[in-house]
Structure 1
Amino acid sequence: MSAPPIHPLVDEGLGNTAWLIDLGDGRALAVDPPRDLRALRAVAERRGLTVAYAADTHLHADFLTGAVQLAATDHATILASADGHRAFDHYGLHDGDEVDLGGLTLRALTTPGHTDEHLSFLLLDGPTPLGVFTGGSLIVGSAARTDLLGADRTEELARAQYASLHRLAALPDATAVWPTHGAGSFCSAPPGAARSSTIGTERATNPLLAAPDADTFVARLVASLGSYPSYFARLGELNRRGPAVITDGPMLPALDVPAVRRLLADGAVIVDVRPVADIAAGHIPGAVANPLRPQFATWLGWLVAPDTPVVIVRNPDQDPADIVWPALNIGFDRIVGELAGGMPAWRATRAEVSTTRLVTPDQMPARGVLDIRQHAEYTSGHLPRALHLELGHLPQQAGAVPSEALTVMCGHGERAMTAATLLERAGHRDLSVLVGGAEDWATATGQHLEEGA
């Protein structure tokens, strides 16, 4: 039998894939569903499917599980590791346990490394493996990171990951590999567009599986690890306890200017989600820019403390659901509302407005450059003599940035605009933002980029 219809549900912002498996009788299995179930529900409705099972491969650090929501609203049975000690009703699985899906079988395989209680789920037709949902164990071209439980456990978990990958690699070559983490995920290391693979392909091409021994594997995996969002530290426990069930659609209450001013006086933060050009043309002083795009939630959770009330500034054509759902997906539930009427309403009160200069690569003034990309991005090619400080570290280290005229840059401009507003909040002035990235500068100027740190 060939594999049943399997629908990948890719979250480009978090770099993850949830999987919806059509069991052939109107029922479906969801693997690693997120709390934001909009994409999953759209596919299920289109296919006439009811989610009967929701399987979580591990206690996720980068998003809240949607399994609890599916159990409450769809009466789905939650499948997860018994070793995860989840505090809600679920069917706890141990190594080798099997679940009859009605013609197909799901077998639990313990594959620790990314987390202690990590399971992979092997989908079987009789004795024949069709594919394996590997979560954060074996992923396309690599393996998921092993430092989420602390630096003191990174090597121990990397060695467990080595054993888990080799256990999975012993499956038949034709077995499909359906991981959760992929390109763009801070839980995984490699770039690349592929979201699935096969055991045979991974055995032939995955550099970690090519490591001759555990020591080499550990060294390669650990060397690939960069920084990750601060909110990762709290989501695992929230997933163990179980996210609250959402009974009403997410709302973005309208707040007039006086109400916003009162909230700001009490410690709230403005998050401006408009496009870069709009923010540059005029934003509320002290606002944090976070242009709405797939990566919006990652930077919201990384840069704004989870207990800080947030007021949104948006344009009328930006859907509130695309703001609130991604925030809830990462456990950020302190968005208290939006500025009614947006920036036109703020300007109408003759309140102060801040602006930020945008420059193209051929317009860059002779001034300092602050590159706020991730370390791997920076070392792959940066402007000569550019200062480097990752955006995720900027709220704590803004005081270390020289108080001189600076052009802030990233890969395109969105993160640079965020950085510029964070620097403005810290008292920096005379800032500009580069529209474009390092390669655009090199093309425009004919100059070479520098590599390395």
Structure 2
Amino acid sequence: MFFADILETEGLGNRTYLAGGVRGAVVVDPPRDIDRLIAAAARRGVRIVAVAETHVHNDYVTGGLELARLTGARYLVPAGASVAYARVAVADGDLEKIDEGLVLRAVTTPGHTPHHTSYVLEKDGRPVAAFTGGSLLIGSVGRPDLVEPRLTEELARAQHASAHRLASELDDEVSVMPTHGFGSFCSSAQAGGERSTIGVEKASNPALVQDVETFVMRLLAGLDDVPAYYAHMGPANAAGPAPVDLTAPGRADAGEIARRLAAGEWVVDLRSRVAFADGHVAGSFNFEVEGQLATYLAWMIPWGKPVTLLAESAEDISRAQRELTRVGIDRPAAAAVGSPADWTTGGAPPTSFPRAVFTDLTAARDRGENPVILDVRRDGERAGGWIEGSVHIPIHQVHQRLHEVPAGTVWVHCAGGMRAAIAASVLDAAGRDVVAVDDGYEAAVAAGLALVTPAQH
């Protein structure tokens, strides 16, 4: 028998795999918080005998080195990856025994990175699953532009070749089990689905149904923004990440919160956007713990800036701390639990701003208020159309481009509301009058707002 369990890291859109047999198992592409994997192996009653990295990751800090150290497992890293620590340098065709009759075979699949390696799990000599990392994804491939701009086209062509290699060498029923593609910015396009096989991908994946020239042209044309924190992930993973520390941060009272704000540090309120708009500490930013906290906070915060977390419960602080360690924000400077009344000094009332939907924006225009409309969607989203007269600054650039927002009351929108709430909090902290549009973008037309499409522009 064999098993291949999926461990989701939803906030980053990634998956880790625990796969093995009766006694032994391998972990493929582990996240920083390895306690989840140790617990999963214990539930299965197996020993982790190998930890395998498909590549040096650009989107999160790996827990592989520490997991291998704690478990005594062999740490498999592609031979072409330049790293500063001892590991088993894996070359094409190398075999790693996982359990009786269960072997992991390395298959070089460059494209996402030059050294990218997939791993095929073989049961009694028959391939049963392919751990494809950032190579062949479900309905897509990993993006080729995260290593070096000069290599992007070359790596895009390599992605096409690697996908075809996997498709030609593996039977149609072999499971495709990628690391990226479930909301990860390492995916070149929207990709997902619970499970897939080589046969399914042969019939539908652009890398396998398009010729190389068409594939490369469309792949490069569709690449989206790269989160700024990615620049720090590769070097951290190549150097060897330190063990994670998830002990509770020190508690901050209202006075300390005020001092940290005055020093220019980031104070992050993890509560829902509804609660934050109703009342919050002036100068704090709203990144919902239920949203893509790690991605957007790590993308926007000046790297290395101290961050203090505010939440309604210690559980939310702990959850946020765990998510942030995955992207290299290791220790909050401080934390506080409670409500805005507990976090403000001298009896000062919490500050607030209104929330609205697109019909409210139409009504404001009809009243002659001439609101400033700020679209904080990404460039790729904006390219599909926008509200006539709106100003566009992608969410991850708002804090750096506040001077470009026209005077007046700013109505902020995104595609659904989460990013608009972040941007609204940044504008509010800067002293601007703001309204957060908490509505789906598709509702703009029904609200009577004129949209501009690329064909009209």
- TM tier, shorter chain? over 0.9
Query: Of residues 435, 439, 445 in structure 1, which corresponds to 2:442?
Result: 439
Displacement after TM superposition at 1:73 (Å): 2.2
Match in the other structure for 1:148: 146
- The equivalences for 1:212-361 within 5 A come to 212=211, 214-246=212-244, 248-316=245-313, 318-339=315-336, 341-347=338-344, 349-351=346-348, 353-361=350-358
State the one-letter code of the partner of 1:432. Answer: V
State the one-letter code of the partner of 2:396. Answer: G
Bigger mean CA deviation after superposition, 72-81 or 347-356: 347-356
Match in the other structure for 2:425: 421
Describe the superposition over 1:343-398 as per-residue Cα deviations: whole angstroms up to 9, x where unpaired: 22134632363311111232222223211122333334543333222101222222
Asked if the contact 2:341/2:349 (under 8 Å) is kept, the reply is no
Asked if the contact 1:208/1:221 (under 8 Å) is kept, the reply is no
State the one-letter code of the partner of 1:333. Answer: D
Describe the superposition over 1:386-438 as per-residue Cα deviations: whole angstroms up to 9, x where unpaired: 322210122222222212222101123221111112223444x2210011121
Match in the other structure for 2:389: 385
Counterparts of 1:191 and 1:286 in 2: how far apart (Å)?
35
SS at match of 1:254: coil
Any stretches of 5+ residues in structure 2 without a counterpart? 366-370
Normalised by the size of structure 2, how large is the TM-score? 0.92
Q: Does 1:137 align with 2:141?
A: no
Counterparts of 1:120 and 1:158 in 2: how far apart (Å)?
16
SS at match of 1:13: helix
State the one-letter code of the partner of 1:130. Answer: V
Counterparts of 1:448 and 1:23 in 2: how far apart (Å)?
59
Asked if the contact 2:28/2:54 (under 8 Å) is kept, the reply is yes
Displacement after TM superposition at 1:329 (Å): 0.5
State the one-letter code of the partner of 2:157. Answer: R
Counterparts of 1:343 and 1:41 in 2: how far apart (Å)?
38
SS at match of 2:118: strand
Normalised by the size of structure 1, how large is the TM-score? 0.93
Moved over 6 A (4+): none
Matched pairs, number: 446
Counterparts of 1:303 and 1:230 in 2: how far apart (Å)?
7
Asked if the contact 1:111/1:120 (under 8 Å) is kept, the reply is yes
Displacement after TM superposition at 1:249 (Å): 3.2
Any stretches of 5+ residues in structure 1 without a counterpart? none
Displacement after TM superposition at 1:168 (Å): 1.2
Describe the superposition over 1:32-63 as per-residue Cα deviations: whole angstroms up to 9, x where unpaired: 11012354344323322332211110011111
State the one-letter code of the partner of 1:119. Answer: T
Bigger mean CA deviation after superposition, 114-123 or 347-356: 347-356
SS at match of 1:418: helix
Counterparts of 1:341 and 1:125 in 2: how far apart (Å)?
53
Counterparts of 1:327 and 1:340 in 2: how far apart (Å)?
18
Asked if the contact 2:138/2:192 (under 8 Å) is kept, the reply is no
Asked if the contact 1:381/1:438 (under 8 Å) is kept, the reply is no
Match in the other structure for 1:104: 102
Distance 1:403 1:447, change over 3 A: closer
Distance 1:141 1:340, change over 3 A: closer
Query: Of residues 2, 15, 18 in structure 2, which corresponds to 1:17?
Result: 15
State the one-letter code of the partner of 1:433. Answer: A
Counterparts of 2:260 and 2:331 in 1: how far apart (Å)?
12
Asked if the contact 2:49/2:98 (under 8 Å) is kept, the reply is no
SS at match of 1:100: strand
Asked if the contact 2:278/2:353 (under 8 Å) is kept, the reply is yes
Q: Identity over the aligned pairs, expressed in percent?
A: 37
Displacement after TM superposition at 1:448 (Å): 6.6
